[in-house]
A and B are shown apart, each in its own frame.
Chain A
Amino acid sequence: MSTVFDDVAGSSLEVAAEVNSQRRRRRRSLSAWHFVLFPIAVLFLIPFLQMAMASFSPAKELVAFPPPFIPTHFTLDGYIKLFGQTDILLWLGNTVIVSGTAIISNLVLCSLAGYGFARLKFAGRNFGFMMILATIMIPTQLLMIPTYILFSYLGLLNGLGAAIVPWLATAFGIFLMRQFFLSLPAELEEAGAIDGCNRWQVFFRIVLPLARPALATLAIFTLLSAWNDLVWPLIAINNQQSFTLQLGIANFQGAHQTDWSLIMAGNVVATLPLILFFLFAQRQFIATMTFSGLKG
């Protein structure tokens, strides 16, 4: 362990001594860190590997004793039962609708509000923004009970609307977009104004096209939050037809207690889209993580 940490400071050193490290790096291509990082990487991947393997295994084998480490043969039974016996496709559709609506709504409403708070001068602006920032401090647990009662008065419970409405706009989204617009040079917008654009034209024609990186961050944040949300749908949606994927698979363990190939196939359907998207847009995901952390 001490040898591991002995090398720790070297990390920063390597970054520091860019020129010298070129040679050192090549010499170190079989760095001792591989012996640390490789097992950790495998450990982090094991749950997903187990999930994939179980979903393609015969159900009986998964609860056998002693359990085999590798399934003896490959089968699609889990998936056939999943699509045949459960409403998984309906739930997938529901989750796509909820996440899609949330993303579009957040991109539109938060970029508008973020621009307004960053660039426009109007009465009540600072007060409004302070109130929005204050809401970040309020934990969701505090809001669950009154929101549940409010939604029941509005007739939103047990429908997809219940899952969508809380994600229509987020304080994080406004904060993120405002920070981004503050970093844009104002000259661009002034040039637009001189050319006779009004505020709306400046926003849609000049500012918004430049905001793509921030919009990507916001879209990923909203996708992750809305796709993976469990607590709120759990409280607000009781009817199977309006279940989201997360709610559906969370109930699997009770309904299909021993059929792990089916349960894991459902887990794959719920998780794989995000994993693929992560692999495809890793940079943007990491940017999102950094920002969602540093907002505090």
Chain B
Amino acid sequence: MAVTIADAAHGGRRPGPTRTRRTGRLDRIKATLTGWSFVAPATVIILGLSIFPAVWAFVLSFQSWDGFSQATFVGVSNYTQLVSDDDFWNAVLNTVGYTVLFVPASVLLGLFLAVALNRRIRFMGFYRTAIFVPFVASAASTGILSTYLFSPQFGLVNNVLRVLHLPQQGWLDDPHQAMLVIAIMSLWGSAAFTTVIYLAALQDVPSDLIEAARIDGASRWQTFWRVVWPQLAPVTVFVAIWQTIQAVQLFDLVYTTTRGGPLDATKTIVYFLYEKAFRSLQFGYGSAAAYVLFAATLLITIAVVVYSRRKGSEAI
């Protein structure tokens, strides 16, 4: 505590003399001390575990280092190596494929469930609970459930297909289906989040807008897509960005189901990064991959925001 206060006083001091009376200056110093003693402990921990490592990772990305021997400065060669690394491009393709599969499905599912749950009928409490409770399932737990439910031999899904006389599938063992299974189980766990966001937004849609549309003779279908849906646009943009960020960072569920297989079909960018950094101890190369991912995430976010703004202004 003593350290943090001393630290705070140092960080909070203003450069240059103040021209107030001595008591005023004392008061200000006291206020600064009090202020920083409130905020310093949390601030030091958070900045120490984020800004500092982020800068360090940037430095690392220009080095070649295995954690033991002397680190050597290699310039941009980590980045140029990434560009020509087939494993990396495979990971990018897999990640993009998953994102394209997961994000629209997650937005539509959230919207549909929110509309379905936004009414007062019997058993609504049960319906909501059933759809929301998977939110607490961890990646480890979801991974175990995926492997079990989609097991080609004894899994429930193939068992149902068998009873219905439909062909058995390989699921997580099939390079073409493994990502689909991961996306389905991700949707199961995250539907609660998108649904809750859309539910909150639906309740904020002004009711006189809907009434006006109905009086003007719009059908329910038209009212929804012409009146309600445009009102939800900011939420849709937010949900899409949020889910995209989650999707391009996919790792946990891959680790707990396929570990990148079969035939590297589920190896994502973060899985690639994890293997390079913590399996092959290429800290510099891994950091470069992390920065590329970070830059891509930022660009996507900015692009979506700019695009939706432009579209929004056109509508007005």
Question: Which of A's residues lie within 8 Å of B, judged by CB?
Answer: 2, 5-17, 21, 25, 28-29, 31, 33-34, 36-38, 40-42, 44-48, 50-51, 54, 62-67, 69, 109-110, 112-113, 115-117, 120-125, 128, 131-132, 134-135, 137-150, 152, 165-166, 168-171, 173-174, 199, 203, 224, 227-228, 230-231, 234-235, 246-247, 249-250, 252-253, 260, 263-264, 267, 270-271, 274-275, 277-279, 282, 285-286, 289-290, 293-294, 296
What is the distance, in angstroms, from A271's C-beta to the closest C-beta of chain B? 5
Could you give, for residues 126-141 of chain B, a 1 whenever the CB lies within 8 Å of some chain A CB and a 0 otherwise? 1101111111111111
Question: Which of B's residues lie within 8 Å of A, judged by CB?
Answer: 11-14, 28, 31-32, 34-36, 38-39, 41-43, 45-47, 49-54, 56-57, 60, 67, 113, 115-123, 126-127, 129-145, 147-149, 153-156, 159, 162, 188, 191-193, 196-197, 200, 202-203, 205, 207-208, 210-211, 214, 219-224, 227-228, 238-239, 241-242, 245, 249, 251-252, 255-256, 270, 273-274, 277-278, 283, 286-287, 290-291, 293-294, 297-298
In the bound complex, what is the Cα–Cα distance between A37 and B112 (angstroms)?
11
- Which one of B119, B221, B249, B255 contacts A31 once the chains associate, using CB atoms below 8 Å? B119
Q: Report yes or no: B207 in contact with A16, Cβ–Cβ below 8 A.
A: yes
Give 11 pairs: A residue, B residue, CB < 8 Å, sorted on A: A8-B220, A12-B118, A15-B118, A50-B156, A51-B144, A124-B11, A199-B34, A293-B196, A293-B197, A293-B239, A294-B238
- Which one of A36, A144, A174, A278 contacts B277 once the chains associate, using CB atoms below 8 Å? A144
In the bound complex, what is the Cα–Cα distance between A260 and B223 (angstroms)?
50
In the bound complex, what is the Cα–Cα distance between A168 and B239 (angstroms)?
28
Q: Which B residues touch A45, using CB under 8 A?
A: 130, 133
Q: Report yes or no: A63 in contact with B138, Cβ–Cβ below 8 A.
A: no
If A48-B133, A63-B153, A146-B53 touch, whether A230 touches B256 (CB-CB below 8 Å) is yes
Q: Which B residues touch A199, using CB under 8 A?
A: 34, 38
Q: Report yes or no: B122 in contact with A29, Cβ–Cβ below 8 A.
A: yes
The list of the 9 closest CB pairs from A to B, nearest first, reads A122-B35, A116-B38, A16-B207, A228-B138, A9-B220, A41-B130, A146-B53, A113-B42, A116-B39
Q: Which A residues touch B202, using CB under 8 A?
A: 11-12
Having A116-B38, A249-B144, one finds 10 other A-B pairs with CB under 8 Å, namely A6-B220, A12-B210, A50-B149, A121-B35, A122-B35, A135-B47, A173-B42, A231-B255, A278-B133, A279-B133
What is the distance, in angstroms, from B11's C-beta to the closest C-beta of chain A? 6
Q: Report yes or no: B121 in contact with A66, Cβ–Cβ below 8 A.
A: no
- Which one of B121, B129, B293 contacts A28 once the chains associate, using CB atoms below 8 Å? B121
Q: Report yes or no: A285 in contact with B294, Cβ–Cβ below 8 A.
A: no
Q: Report yes or no: A10 in contact with B220, Cβ–Cβ below 8 A.
A: yes
Chain B binding surface SS class? helix
Q: Which A residues touch B153, using CB under 8 A?
A: 63, 65
Q: Report yes or no: B135 in contact with A278, Cβ–Cβ below 8 A.
A: yes
- Which one of B60, B134, B141, B255 contacts A267 once the chains associate, using CB atoms below 8 Å? B141
Q: Which B residues touch A228, using CB under 8 A?
A: 136, 138-140
If A6-B220, A150-B53 touch, whether A44 touches B134 (CB-CB below 8 Å) is yes
Q: Which A residues touch B136, using CB under 8 A?
A: 224, 228, 271, 274-275, 277-278, 285
Q: Which A residues touch B45, using CB under 8 A?
A: 109, 165, 168-169
Q: Report yes or no: B49 in contact with A122, Cβ–Cβ below 8 A.
A: no
Q: Which A residues touch B294, using CB under 8 A?
A: 138-139, 141-142
Q: Which B residues touch A166, using CB under 8 A?
A: 49
If A13-B210, A14-B120 touch, whether A169 touches B51 (CB-CB below 8 Å) is no
What is the distance, in angstroms, from A100's C-beta to the closest C-beta of chain B? 17
If A120-B35, A141-B273, A270-B140 touch, whether A34 touches B118 (CB-CB below 8 Å) is no
What is the distance, in angstroms, from B89's C-beta to the closest C-beta of chain A? 18
Q: Which A residues touch B287, using CB under 8 A?
A: 142, 145-146
Q: Report yes or no: A44 in contact with B119, Cβ–Cβ below 8 A.
A: no
Q: Which B residues touch A123, using CB under 8 A?
A: 12-14, 28, 32, 35
| A168, closest chain B residue (CB) | B45
In the bound complex, what is the Cα–Cα distance between A110 and B53 (angstroms)?
21
Q: Which B residues touch A234, using CB under 8 A?
A: 255
Q: Report yes or no: A29 in contact with B49, Cβ–Cβ below 8 A.
A: no
Q: Which B residues touch A252, using CB under 8 A?
A: 144
Q: Report yes or no: A289 in contact with B121, Cβ–Cβ below 8 A.
A: no
What is the distance, in angstroms, from A171's C-beta to the closest C-beta of chain B? 5
In the bound complex, what is the Cα–Cα distance between A184 and B192 (angstroms)?
30
Q: Report yes or no: B211 in contact with A65, Cβ–Cβ below 8 A.
A: no
- Which one of B32, B42, B223, B255 contacts A250 once the chains associate, using CB atoms below 8 Å? B255
